[in-house]
Chains A and B, each alone.
Chain A
């Protein structure tokens, strides 16, 4: 558990996430602003890399925080505010998928149309971003990272979510199980399949890495 969110007492002002959320529930909107500043980037990055679309990520991000604001009176300290926040995100994404499914013709099959479009758009964005960069300054790890971001969209959604909750959300596997409603063994399997899938998709890029960047 090396990258867990600072859910208790680690902020410079000393207030834990739970304390800030309780203060917000009692009407202190300044407490919300501090919580928002702490968690906005990890959450947005998670949503962006999950959806592959900045517009979709903006919409989902907005909805997650609106739901948080609406449910502030019902907030119960759970020990991990961040896990609670990502649970809201998980539910918002599930609702969004249901809406998208209603709008999708049965002839489109099971393919998540937006994900597929998102993968293509994301890859285009990566190409243009690569083109803008300074080739000398680009590290192998940086190149690999950009390929990973694109390859993530080709993973099954449940695997992608677990990978991102771990690596971007900074949640430990137990909290990921709570967020996704899956048991711990399933979470571990999904993470393993995600890593194996990425490895398969990125075999050429991984083979090109110098020995030293593997560790």
Chain B
């Protein structure tokens, strides 16, 4: 091994002051007569010296504030982020014990937000994985329902109707008071239509119209679209069953 190679290999130890005196003296002896090695070490020192003089950067104030809020369970935020406000709004409705895991709740909100961004960017696989992380933290409560709802919608978008239907049926049964129930029932209709079960899809839409009179226009539109896409045979059979009265 040449002395220049040895110096190169020991350069970090030398700069860190980690060489024993004997090795250091040997290296410095070589250095005294080798301009190439002097130049190497000079460059390394200049790089480290210049970089260390740089200013320190800081996170955005909103992020810093959200972190501090997450570490303070029970205290109010002076200027809450929208997403933290959403988490707080949910907390108001939940048992006091929930305050003990506010950190988790915040993390869930962050994960949901990230999953939504992935979904909106068309990264469905990534979104599903992020929602599942959130679900693992959230468990089966209301937040779990909110996440499962997103997963079911994702499955419908991916045309995985069987998976979506299974998830929707469990959700609808387990959370009769869930605030997104109307959307769940509509999704169920979509999943059934996607599975080629038009009669059941129409029943599902009729159920939405019965529970949510304000959604009648929407359900009528969906039924029309569904019927328009059917073959003559299918239409006939549905008519015979009384599903297409008007």
Contact = CB atoms under 8 A, between A and B. Distances in A.
Does A associate with B in a complex? yes
A33 B59 contact: no
Interface stretch (A6-14, A61-69, A80-88, A112-120): A61-69
A122 interface: no
Contacts of B110: 62-63, 66
Contacts of A99: 126, 129-130
B46 A144 contact: yes
A206 B43 contact: yes
Interface residues of B, number: 48
Interface string B82-118: 0000000000000000000001101100100010001
A62 B8 CA distance: 39
A204 B230 CA distance: 70
B75 A29 contact: yes
Interface majority SS on A: helix, strand, loop or mixed? helix
A214 B71 contact: no
B6 interface: no
Interface majority SS on B: helix, strand, loop or mixed? helix
Interface in A44-69: 44-45, 48, 54, 57-59, 61-63, 65-66, 69
Interface string B21-47: 000000000000000000010111111
B12 A192 contact: yes
A127 to B, nearest CB: 17
Interface of B: 8-9, 11-13, 16, 18, 40, 42-54, 56-60, 63-64, 66-68, 70-73, 75, 103-104, 106-107, 110, 114, 118, 123, 125-126, 129-130
Given A66-B103, A198-B47, A215-B42, 5 more contacts: A44-B56, A45-B54, A58-B59, A141-B49, A167-B52
CB-based closest 10 A-B pairs: A41-B56, A144-B50, A32-B71, A214-B42, A29-B72, A65-B67, A141-B50, A145-B50, A199-B43, A103-B126
Interface of A: 1, 3, 24, 29, 32-33, 36, 40-42, 44-45, 48, 54, 57-59, 61-63, 65-66, 69-70, 99, 102-103, 141-142, 144-145, 148-149, 167, 173, 188, 191-192, 195-196, 198-199, 202, 206, 209, 213-215
